[in-house]
Structure 1
Amino acid sequence: MRSDDDMTVDELRELSPVALRRAFAAMAEARVQQMIDDHPAFIGNTDGVPFRVRIAANAHNLRDAVADEVRQGRSDGVRAHSLRVLLTPEHRRERRFITFANTAAGRVIEMAGEFTPTTTTAAVYVPGTGTRLDESVRNHEAAWNLARRTGGPVFLFMDGDLPQDMGHTTLLRALRSYARAETSAVGPIGWFTGTVSGVGGFIRRVLGSMAESAMDPTYAIEMAPRLVEFARQLDQEIAEHCPGTRTTVIGHSYGGSVVGTAEQLGLRADRVVHASSAGAGVLDGGWRNPNPTVERFSMTAPGDLIQYVRWLPANPHGAKPDSMPGVFRMDTGWYDDRSRDELVQGPSGHGEYWNHPDSTAFANLVRVIRGERPTPFVRRVDERPLAVLWQVLRRR
């Protein structure tokens, strides 16, 4: 026999996020708690449910996930360990999750910091390739460092599967496979002349064989709509707790492609940052701006290999944010902005600055979130590919 809670959940599933928020606002606390206890997966992962309720439900979901790992004989496994870490209090309070699903890569939206009546900033941070629940410590620490330095909440957005392969190994395999197939068909000379005369088609064919790597736009296409909806939910929370708070959405690496694609779908934000971004969006057409005064920023370290990927004629992630009209290119500078003894550059400059809160790059992210003017890009080294390669080889 179905319970009242079961029937209530069936009714709630039919409501829009706006109507769902109204329904929860009218519920008695005891009723809300009963819903959390009986249907935590639905309550913790449904847009329209207030964040405080989702957080409570996802604490329940995390405990259930640990218990399931134990039942499956994986008590000492990597995932069980990761889940227990998520349940461990930090910064003198429980960790809080707006979304949690125990999928293969793990899907979460974690809230670092909190809303207060004096909150004026909020940020969403979308990380890049290689991010997964079991290896998200650095992303988590970066979100907390942003929250501490801006005074507002920062949401680590991992509500989707991100590619786990950078693509270079897949690219080499694809090139070898393509070369073998074409050489056997038309011979070495025919392969070479055909490749040179049709370089765009050649690149597209090679990239087309790189599914499930960082060159695959599918992840951005699937993740971007969830980011658009989360931004709507964040706006509702802000309207309730701290009206007037301005939001910043930051996409790093592949996360930049997710953010750019979300903007093509109508993401609402006050500020958008492309940090070492793969591109401005995978869909056809430009950004749709629900906020006509949105401010956009980008930054890419000199010698960051991502900029050479963006130069590919068939780059699936779209245009280069650094050079797009209306986008302010920020400086990445030094790892310690005070001593200025090590420049953020080269392959490590793609993301290492996230681990250095005193770096120029991190400080500029903080400035953007706080509504302050970041420092502009300064060209300190030759960014042409051969010059960068020479610099990399010299440092080895």
Structure 2
Amino acid sequence: MPEETLAGALERIADELAGGLADARLAHEAVTRLPRRLDSLGDEILAGRTRVELLWAERLVTDLRLEAAAVRRRAPRLALSGAPLPPRPPDDDPEVVAAWWAAMTEQEREDVLLSDPVFVGGADGLPLAVRHRANLRVLDDEIERRRSAGHRPGTGADGGIPWIGGIGTAGTTGGTDAGDDVDAEELLQRERDSSDLRGLLKLRAVLDPQTATDDWADDRIREDLDRITTPVAHRWCYLLDASSHPLRAAVLLGDLDTADRVVLHVPGATTSLDLRLLREMAWMSNLRAEAGRYVGAVRVAVLDWIGYQTPQDIAVRRPLGDSGVPLLLPGQAADPHYAQEAVPDLVRCAEGLRTVCLPGTRLTGSGHSYGGSVLGLGLAATGVFDAAAVAGCPGLFTTDVATLHVPEGEVYAAAAPGDLVALLGVFGAPTHQVAGIRSLSTRTRPVVHPDGSRALLLPVFGHESYYNLGSVTLHGIGAVVAGATAQVRATRREGRGGGTGGESEGAGLLPPPPPDGPTP
């Protein structure tokens, strides 16, 4: 955790003291209302003295806050110990952060990175390589710290889906025996600790698959890693926030120094480093390779942003009164507050990407399931995206595409047959009913790729098939990312600018990518 500043400590102490004083006043007033005794002179003297002391304590709160303001003006980066803290930018606006970093010398930058890697690794606006290096330090430190504290990863299970709260949840407690004399709260904390450690180890395995040999005895982990086709040299740890459970992280696949097609992808409910990271990496590798068919994979980068508190269940079971009859009720995935709380961080991340990307980069917002709904709020809050494509999305929190700050005709959505989530419209209207949104085809069809090869695109069904290799939706989203929108087969209800109905596809093909491009 970052070290507290002296000004911050003074403000915190003043707030805590003010809270305690409020309780003390209430308690004192309750004492004064007690029935008076005949020999109550001593009680009255004590009550009067207490009132005076409470007044002095209130003055102390005021003085502490005045001192905090003075310290914040004169020495904002002074620690409680009196030692100077590493410098920080004036605020967290990515452009401000970028300018602050550019103004420092190489030695000053190195000093900040070594002394404050948690801040550097999460600062939107800093270069990719700098954040990656800082986050690797945080990753190794967190794994070592948790292992030293006695945490064990347990078994876990990547890819399991806790659709129903308390049933089918991934993982087991890290070495907790059923007979241990511990309460439910401690058991829950042990499982959280184990889950976080598993997530950190999986993240390290994604960035350096060789570590999987030492960290994992389960061959399934290595099999999942093999499905991630992006070269190891093009995997970057863009974010790692280990300050709370579940961990927040983001992994970038590609290279921002060469990519002018960049995707910011928001995954859906139940996603965490422990539960879904490996599957997410495989899906986003597929997307990067598919977009690379048009422009070359070296020009495509995908940021998988697990940077928010995702809902952890789809439904919950509750007993009906005293009957014990179970009812299946909507779970956290029907709660909008997870999306609403994610928006400021998502917007800052998107604006940070725009700051560090190459000029003229096509930035596409992407979201699966609940992540598409999160993206919908983000699209309404910032105008940095050039296009958006969601899949299996329960609504974009709008019934009017004009509320989304995306160029006309550049919002796409896929809803597969059998995917009830996409049809529910929990957060606004179902995407296929919103005028102006282009609905991606989900039906099988033949296609000629830019290199001249032919393929039969596979249909999709259900909620988990959109990013499968060879699928028609992966092909469509990949073309959106590449900017090859003439190749996108989609329908659109009449919306802003008129719109067109019916299914359409451009007849022309982009020229093949350069020879060094198509390798994912």
Using the size of structure 2 for normalisation, the TM-score is 0.58
Structure 1 contact 260–287 (Cα < 8 Å) conserved: no
Higher helix proportion: 1
Q: Runs of 5+ in structure 2 lacking a partner?
A: 1-80, 155-194, 210-230, 292-296, 448-453, 492-501, 504-520
> 2:272 maps to which residue?
132
Change (3 A) 1:341 1:34: closer
Offset at 1:162?
Answer: 0.8
Which deviates the most, 134-143 or 262-271? 262-271
Bigger-Rg structure (1/2)? 2
Equivalences for residues 196-345 of structure 1 within 5 A: 210=330, 213-238=332-357, 242-281=358-397, 288-293=403-408, 295-310=410-425, 315=426, 317-334=427-444, 343-345=459-461
Deviations 1:350-369 (A, max 9, x none): 12232x22111111110110
Q: How many aligned residue pairs are there?
A: 332
> 1:164 maps to which residue?
312
Secondary structure of the corresponding residue to residue 130 of structure 2? helix
> 2:203 maps to which residue?
86
Offset at 1:294?
Answer: 6.4
Equivalences for residues 20-99 of structure 1 within 5 A: 20-77=97-154, 78-87=195-204, 88-89=207-208, 91-93=231-233, 95-99=235-239
Secondary structure of the corresponding residue to residue 273 of structure 1? strand
Deviations 1:95-140 (A, max 9, x none): 42221112322211111111234x3311111111111110211101
> 1:203 maps to which residue?
none
Change (3 A) 1:81 1:93: farther
Secondary structure of the corresponding residue to residue 144 of structure 2? helix
Secondary structure of the corresponding residue to residue 214 of structure 1? helix
Paired letter, 1:124 = L
Offset at 1:255?
Answer: 0.7
1:353 paired to 2:466: yes
Secondary structure of the corresponding residue to residue 353 of structure 1? coil
- Identical columns (%): 26
Deviations 1:56-77 (A, max 9, x none): 1111111111011112112444
- Paired with 1:342 and 1:16, the residues of 2 have a C-alpha distance of 43
Paired letter, 2:301 = P
Secondary structure of the corresponding residue to residue 274 of structure 2? helix
> 1:190 maps to which residue?
none
- Paired with 2:267 and 2:341, the residues of 1 have a C-alpha distance of 15
- Paired with 1:92 and 1:221, the residues of 2 have a C-alpha distance of 34
- Paired with 1:129 and 1:301, the residues of 2 have a C-alpha distance of 18
- Paired with 1:236 and 1:293, the residues of 2 have a C-alpha distance of 23
Structure 1 contact 336–360 (Cα < 8 Å) conserved: no
- Paired with 1:336 and 1:166, the residues of 2 have a C-alpha distance of 36
Paired letter, 1:154 = V
> 1:375 maps to which residue?
489
Which deviates the most, 268-277 or 49-58? 49-58
Structure 1 contact 274–298 (Cα < 8 Å) conserved: yes
Paired letter, 1:327 = I
Using the size of structure 1 for normalisation, the TM-score is 0.75
Equivalences for residues 177-188 of structure 1 within 5 A: 177=320
Paired letter, 1:108 = A
Secondary structure of the corresponding residue to residue 279 of structure 1? coil
